[in-house]
Amino acid sequence: MTASPAVSGIAGRVRRFRSRYSAGYLFVAPSMLFFLVFIFVPLGWSFLLSFQEFGFRTSTWVGLDNYIALVQDPIFRQSAVNTVIYSVFTVAVWVVIAMVLATLIHPLPPRLRTFFRAAYYLPAVTSAVFIALVWKWILNANPWGLANHVLSLFGAGPVGFISDPSPFAGASVALWSVILSSVLTIPAVGVVLYSAALAGIPQELYEAAETEGAGALAKFRYITVPLLKPITLYVAIIYTIAAFEVFERVYVMTGGGPGYATNTIVYSIWRTGFRFGDYGLASAQAFLLFVVIATISVLQFRALRSDVQY
Amino acid sequence: MAEGTAGLERRGAEPRVAAPSSLLPEVVAAPVPEAAITGGTAPGRRQSRRSRLFTLAVLAPVAVVGLFPFYWMVTTALTPRAAAIRVPPTLVPLDATLDNLVALFAQAPILLWAFNSLVIAAAIMVGHVVFDSMAGYAFARKRFPGKRLFFTLIVSSLMIPVHVTLVPRFILVTNLGLDDHLLGVIAPSIADVFGIFLMRQFMQSLPAELEEAARVDGASEWQVFWRIVLPLSMPAVATVAIFSFVGAWNAFLWPLIVLSDRALLTLPVGVALLQQEFSSNIGLQMAGALVGAVPMIVLFLLFQRHFLEGVRVGALKG
């Protein structure tokens, strides 16, 4: 009632701004603060750290030395190569398996569908640590190791699996063993995502194809696969990111070894930063990883924008 | 019956952005058929018996392979120590025993680890439910300068792998005196993108009339959120809660970095430590893995729909 002309100046504007918007700001404040403190500030900080060298309680600016050291370091180079080999093979197999499983599940009656989706998803709800621990036990080099026993039934083996660093088909036996344990883990998230996408393909397309005499394989090849392309890209990207960040499996099964045969980038980041306390070098490795992941993510957002039209 | 309507809701199943049918409030969508929740209705035509048999002949063995590690975990955990290294390996534990579990409880603070995991997972879950839904509410309903910028920033943080922020976060947590403290694990995970995204999506679909009515009756902004919007958003809250809990329970790398006191470890970190402390005792290691895995399996069996739904909206990778 007493709105004097003086208040309707700046003070009035501030008051109006506050009464109109303060609730919105207050509601986002806690999470924005969280993102600032634990994600955005550390991101910049990590960038700065990557140009420093750490001694005991001191750090000095060393320019690009950390990055140069990494590029020249055969161990880091091997970690990068291992990570790429691991990612390429697991992602390729996971995507194919996920698509085939989802396609096979789709026409089943609801009860069976729910059953298989649950059975496939079950292993994904437990920590990778526990599953990796079992795989380490299955793949152990002794004759009582389950994998070696199975091999012995065919007159083969025993194979060292995760303890054998000898080269085999472009990588080491140990790395292939880790890859094997990964691809034998059902890509549950992919199955669920493909299932959702399959439900969006109009049934009429299949019916039309059938009237023209298309068999199951032809329908899969010419209808399902092309129409699932956008989701395939999405699944491939999330799996690529997950594969690039592989850690638990390596930590539990091999500890990066034998030697550096199964060292991966994230394992290397952890070891450099938290075993050896070399924050600068670890940050430089992390930043290289960030560039790779961010590139993949940008591709993902691009791809998602162009949606499929039926 | 359901076939006709389900086709409509199934359109536009793009990942991340699509509001899942089961998460729509009941006002908007009548109870959704079970099939729609798990990803669509059965196609109109029936399969021939032969192709059904072929399908099952592929799917069943895959399920066996996928679930085998669990079977082997249980079997080994129940096998006496000497029998675990028998040739050929015992596929069915006829001489099952609880010795390994007894030894585990006697020689490792497994209950303490379970307690730590529970505290961490519960705290992170509550944090996500409260903070994510607050932010989701603001993004869904409020208008304020900078809203788009904030939202873009939050979404773009998805591109930042946690590994890039590990070192600075550890320095931060250490400076706060929270290293080797459960709070040091909890604090850097107290909110997340997925929850904000999901809550925003869900709250946008709620009718605004109730909130306006409450405001007319003199409810404060907080009361509108806490008493009206949040209770209406329970389906989305449940999904966020379950995913946060399971994610926090299973987390490994960050707890491994922050915690070092043996009594403060979480189950995954503790069980990973068992393989160093009892490297020759595989039964004990498997017993530890079993104790860590079973609670999540039980949760999954109880809340299956929320899990599958959460994945559909882009919950997490791998």
- CATH number for the domain harbouring residue A185: 1.10.3720.10
Could you tell me if residue A84 is inside a domain?
yes
Share of chain B above pLDDT 70, in %: 83
- Residue-wise pLDDT tens digits, B277-290: 888 788 889 999 99
- Measured between CB atoms, does A234 come within 8 Å of chain B? yes
What phi and psi values does residue A41 have, to the nearest 5 degrees?
-65, -50
pLDDT band at B36 (very low <50, low <70, confident <90, very high): very low
Q: Compare CB distances from B73 to A118, A128, A134 and report the shortest one's residue.
A: A134
Could you tell me if residue A310 is inside a domain?
no
Contact present, B272 and A129 (Cβ < 8 Å): yes
Question: What total of structural domains would you count in chain A?
Answer: 1
Q: What is the pLDDT of residue B40?
A: 42
Distance CA A134, CA B290 (A): 10
Distance CA B296, CA B303 (A): 10
Q: Is the pLDDT score of B314 beyond 70?
A: no
Radius of gyration of chain B, Cα coordinates, nearest whole angstrom: 24
Contact present, B7 and A204 (Cβ < 8 Å): no
Could you tell me if residue A173 is inside a domain?
yes
Contact present, B136 and B198 (Cβ < 8 Å): yes
Q: What is the pLDDT of residue A82?
A: 93
Least confidently predicted of A60-64, B10-14, B184-188 = B10-14
What is the average per-residue pLDDT within A165-190?
A: 87
Could you tell me if residue A140 is inside a domain?
yes
Distance CA B16, CA A166 (A): 43
**Contact check, Cβ <8 Å, A133/B285:** yes
Q: Measuring CA to CA, which residue among B264, B284, B263 is closest to residue B274?
A: B284
Q: What is the pLDDT of residue A284?
A: 92
Contact present, A179 and B119 (Cβ < 8 Å): no
**Which token pair is B100?**
């390994």
Domains of chain B with bracketed CATH: 49-97 (no CATH), 107-312 (1.10.3720.10)
CA B200: distance to chain centroid? 19
Give residue A93's domain range: 76-267+288-305
Distance CA A130, CA A123 (A): 10
- Measured between CB atoms, does A281 come within 8 Å of chain B? no
What is the average per-residue pLDDT within B185-206?
A: 90
Q: Tell me how crowded residue B145 is: count the other CB atoms within 10 A of its CB.
A: 11
Å between B27 CA and nearest CA of chain A: 23
Residue with tokens 């004097």: A4
ipTM: 0.86
Could you tell me if residue A123 is inside a domain?
yes
Mean pLDDT of chain B: 80
pLDDT band at A6 (very low <50, low <70, confident <90, very high): low
Q: Count CA atoms within 13 Å of residue A103 on its CB side.
A: 20
Cis amide bond preceding B88, omega within 30: yes
Q: Is the pLDDT score of B86 beyond 90?
A: no
- Residue-wise pLDDT tens digits, A264-297: 999 999 999 998 888 889 999 999 999 888 888 7
Q: What is the pLDDT of residue B289?
A: 93
- Measured between CB atoms, does A208 come within 8 Å of chain B? no
Å between A149 CA and nearest CA of chain B: 7
Q: Is the pLDDT score of A310 beyond 80?
A: no
Å between A172 CA and nearest CA of chain B: 24
pLDDT band at B13 (very low <50, low <70, confident <90, very high): very low
- Measured between CB atoms, does A217 come within 8 Å of chain B? no
Radius of gyration of chain A, Cα coordinates, nearest whole angstrom: 26
Q: What is the pLDDT of residue A100?
A: 93
Could you tell me if residue A117 is inside a domain?
yes
Q: Is the pLDDT score of A97 beyond 90?
A: yes
**Contact check, Cβ <8 Å, A195/B134:** no
Q: What is the pLDDT of residue A5?
A: 53
Q: Measuring CA to CA, which residue among B139, B134, B145, B151 is closest to residue B222?
A: B134
Mode of pairing for the β-strands spanning A59-61 and A52-54: antiparallel
Distance CA B35, CA B23 (A): 14
**Which token pair is B25?**
């409030």
Provide the chain A residues 90-119 that lie in CB contact (below 8 A) with chain B: 97, 101, 104-110, 112-114, 116-119
Could you tell me if residue A80 is inside a domain?
yes
Least confidently predicted of B20-34, B99-113, B249-263 = B20-34
Contact present, A191 and A122 (Cβ < 8 Å): no
Nearest 5°: CA angle at A254, between A249 and A258? 150
Could you tell me if residue A180 is inside a domain?
yes
> Residue B313: exposed, middle, or buried by beta-carbon count in 10 A (0-12, 13-18, 19+)?
buried
Q: What is the pLDDT of residue A86?
A: 94
Mean pLDDT of chain A: 85
Q: Is the pLDDT score of B33 beyond 70?
A: no
Residues of chain A contacting B67 with CB distance shorter than 8 Å: 119, 122-123
Distance CA B195, CA B239 (A): 9
Contact present, A140 and B83 (Cβ < 8 Å): no
Distance CA A212, CA A74 (A): 58
Name A150's bridge partners.
none
Q: Compare CB distances from A49 to B52, B167, B249 and report the shortest one's residue.
A: B167
